[in-house]
Amino acid sequence: MLGELLQNHRIILASASPRRQQFFTEMGIPFEVHKLAVEEIHPGHLQGKEISDYLAKLKALPFKGKLLANDILITSDTVVWHKDTSLAKPGDEQEALEMLRTLSDDWHQVITSVCFTTPLDQKTVSQSTRVRFRELKDAEIRYYIDHYRPFDKAGGYGIQEWIGLVGIEEIQGSYSNVVGLPTHLVYETLMAMVG
């Protein structure tokens, strides 16, 4: 349905994430992947949704002046927000271990912002989902890190992986958002843009 409406548009997904690409495929959205490098640094005073909004827009900046009339560029960023702190992608095993220890037996927020950019306009939407881990044993955390190497994931984990299957007790909100893309918001926003 949406795919037909997008026939005269080129959707550019600026993400190397296989999970986001899979969601686009499953939603029937034709897309091309083009990612231009940008240093993902945000001002220190930003909090929660402000961080993911800022970084989603920042990822669109390298495309400025390069988009054609019917192009829709989609950039996004996911933040794990816990105790007023953003847990980014862990740099190594020790950081991943510390992140999962702090998330153990507690709630946190997963916030994903998606930015839609055309040559004439830009719109950013975001979704927040609450996630609760049961108490995780160190042996479980180490097993997960050793076998899944979650260094490309905010907060040091993927909900769709082993640690999510055995460790997450409850989520409040969108599951796909925790995987990395609030699919219903992407669909609704694109429908509003081209429908």
Q: Kindly list the domain boundaries of the chain, sorted by start residue.
A: 2-194
Residue 185 — pLDDT band, cuts 50, 70, 90? very high
What is the widest separation between alpha-carbon atoms in the chain? 53
Q: Which listed residue (53, 77, 92, 105) is catalytic?
A: 77
- Please give the pLDDT value at position 42: 94
CA triplet 61, 87, 25: central angle to 5 degrees?
55
CA distance 7 to 141: 45
- Please give the pLDDT value at position 16: 87
User: Is pLDDT at 187 greater than 90 in this prediction?
Assistant: yes
CA distance 49 to 60: 17
Mean pLDDT is lowest, of 2-6, 59-63, 82-86, for 2-6
Q: Is the pTM of this model over 0.85?
A: yes
CATH architecture of 2-194: Alpha-Beta Complex (3.90)
CA distance 88 to 16: 17
CA atoms within 13 A on the CB side of 12: 20
Q: For residue 14, which phi and psi values (nearest 5 degrees)?
A: -95, 70
CB-based contact 79:99 (threshold 8 Å): no
Q: For residue 81, which phi and psi values (nearest 5 degrees)?
A: -115, 120
Residue 77 among the catalytic residues: yes
Residue 3 — pLDDT band, cuts 50, 70, 90? confident
- Please give the pLDDT value at position 195: 75
CA distance 74 to 183: 12
- Please give the pLDDT value at position 5: 85
Chain mean pLDDT for the chain? 95
